[in-house]
Amino acid sequence: MKLVIILFSFFTLMLNITLANELDSYVTVNRFYDLETKQHYVEISYFVPSSVVYFQKNAKQLYQGRLKTSIIVSNKEEIINSKVYILQTEECNSLENISTNLKDVVRLYVPSNDTLNLAIKIEDVNDSTSSYSSSVALYVKEKENAFLSDVMLITSANKSEILNPFTRNGLVVIPKFLNYYPTEIKEVKFYTEFYQKNSLSKYLVRYLITNEEGVFVNGYASHKRIDSQQYTSIVSGFDISKLPSGNYYLFMELKDSANVIIERKRTFFQRSNKSENSIKNVNEQKGELSVIANNFAKKFNLVNIKHHLSALAPIANTFEYSTIQGFEDSEDVEQMQNYFFSFWKGKNSKEPEAEWMAYAKTLQYVENTFTNLNDRGYETARGIVYLMHGKPFLEKRYRRDGKEFWLWNYERIDNQGNVYFIFLNSSSISDDFKMVHSSLRNELYDKYWADFIKNEL
């Protein structure tokens, strides 16, 4: 979770502010197989909201957004496959008429049994400060005969004779670009493909939902029989209107005629359900009981667990933060205890409590040092940065032109060296320091303060 998301709306004092902005982009990556060419390929789908794209007048004096998309697949020696192109919006005569989001899909053939890297970069052609980049490790294992594609969470899959980039075998399959399911979404849908390369045999594909510990959730299982087919697509889903909040996996199991599992695939999703109709899982398998028995968070009461969950905000990712927010009005102590335990188990599967205690020690320092009249320590700008990045190696307090501010310097954050943060005191009464500048990528940038650092240090 980027600091600017939390703090930007509070700062209105300084002028000439620009944002070193990460272009909000939602990307899915899935592996499939082409039976005609007998090649594996990777499918990259992405979605960019029109609200974050800069629309500029073109030669026709009409407004248009443009994205430059670069996708490169490589191994340690060379580039295997790539595509670079410009994606354009429709032309509009007024900014008020812009409502169409940008989305596209790219399919690139990849070799099997090779360790690959997939690099994705999306740049706003009209705004050089706005871009998105990511990379993922990629490996495709060659199968002898029968196997499954990846499990793709989808928004819809409808028959259509009109071809578009998202067409797959007569269906327009729209991925779900965010694997987060709030209360309003009542169904989790998915798409998978089955392949047989050589001999044709009978198989069964079983799909089910488990919690994050791999314990099957009662009532969420189904299957499809495959009768000697070389290929079939599987489009299905589950009603999750009663599925309680939590982290889950959608599992796919491919079984042969002897009921032996020959392949498993899974994909993660997160559910936030504020509905009174949600029900707890009554499955009492041994694995689940052992997790509950070792849950150190059971010792926290309602007040404590709510505080501890709120204090995770600075180090939580987007999905985790959404879940934490969903607990604000909750009084389900057990659900919050389980989530808190799961959060730290994800950080340290062997010693989750030790991981929490290390964070709690830092949190105590932040509370004692940065709490002011308006906010708890972990809610302040300095507290958030401290919890995210640790103690700076240099801290200086200045008074300049009637302004009081702190300058923090870190030697390295996320492979970026010599990173600065500046916090300006917005109120001499409350000692409330707001972040007004950072040299860290994708954080708040202000030329006035950047020049100050350049000239003074």
- How deeply is 12 buried, as exposed, middle or buried, from its count of CB atoms within 10 A (0-12, 13-18, 19+)? exposed
Q: Is pLDDT at 55 greater than 80 in this prediction?
A: yes
Report pLDDT digits (tens) over 157-201: 998 888 888 998 889 999 999 888 988 999 999 999 999 998 788
Q: Is pLDDT at 93 greater than 90 in this prediction?
A: no
Residues 150/179, Cβ–Cβ less than 8 Å: no
Residues above pLDDT 70, as percent of the chain:
90
CA distance 247 to 423: 36
Residues 104/69, Cβ–Cβ less than 8 Å: yes
**What is the mean predicted confidence (pLDDT) over 113-127?**
93
Q: Which two tokens mark 139?
A: 């490996």
Q: What is the mean pLDDT of the chain?
A: 84
Where do the H-state alpha helices sit in 214-293? 286-293
In a domain, 360, yes or no: no
Instruction: Using the 3D structure, point to which of 281, 306, 339 is the last residue of a domain.
Output: 281
Question: Which of 9-23, 35-49, 147-161, 422-436 is predicted with the least confidence, judged by mean pLDDT?
Answer: 9-23
Number of Cβ atoms within 10 Å of the Cβ of 29: 18
Same domain, 206 and 192: yes
What's the pLDDT at 400? 77
CA distance 215 to 288: 6
Report pLDDT digits (tens) over 312-360: 999 988 767 777 877 777 777 887 888 898 889 888 878 889 999 999 9
Across 68-77, 137-146, 294-303, which has the greatest mean pLDDT? 68-77
Residues 440/419, Cβ–Cβ less than 8 Å: yes
**What is the mean predicted confidence (pLDDT) over 63-81?**
94
Residues 6+ apart with CB under 8 A from 304: none
Count of structural domains within the chain:
4
Same domain, 98 and 184: no
In a domain, 387, yes or no: no
What's the pLDDT at 280? 64
Q: Is pLDDT at 4 greater than 50 in this prediction?
A: no
**What is the mean predicted confidence (pLDDT) over 381-400?**
90
DSSP 332: -
Same domain, 207 and 230: yes
Same domain, 99 and 162: no
In a domain, 444, yes or no: yes
Dihedral angle, C-alpha 297, 303, 307, 310, nearest 10 ° = 90
In a domain, 382, yes or no: no
Q: Is pLDDT at 243 greater than 70 in this prediction?
A: yes
**What is the mean predicted confidence (pLDDT) over 98-111?**
90
CA distance 299 to 334: 11
In a domain, 371, yes or no: no
Same domain, 257 and 317: no
Same domain, 5 and 130: yes
Same domain, 311 and 426: no
Question: DSSP E strands: which ranges in 303-382?
Answer: none
Same domain, 81 and 168: no
Same domain, 236 and 173: yes
- How deeply is 145 buried, as exposed, middle or buried, from its count of CB atoms within 10 A (0-12, 13-18, 19+)? middle
In a domain, 101, yes or no: yes
* pLDDT band, very low/low/confident/very high, at 18 (cuts 50, 70, 90): very low
Query: What radius of gyration, in Å, describes the C-alpha atoms of the chain?
Result: 25
Same domain, 166 and 275: yes
What's the pLDDT at 448? 81
Q: What is the CATH number of the domain that holds 134?
A: 2.60.40.10
CA angle, corner 321, sides to 318 and 324, nearest 5? Answer: 155
Same domain, 137 and 167: no
> What's the number of CA atoms in the CB half-sphere (13 Å) around residue 428?
4
Q: Is pLDDT at 11 greater than 50 in this prediction?
A: no
Same domain, 333 and 408: no
Residues above pLDDT 90, as percent of the chain:
44
Number of Cβ atoms within 10 Å of the Cβ of 36: 5
**What is the mean predicted confidence (pLDDT) over 43-62?**
91
Which structural domain, as residue segments, surrounds residue 164?
Answer: 145-281
* pLDDT band, very low/low/confident/very high, at 19 (cuts 50, 70, 90): very low
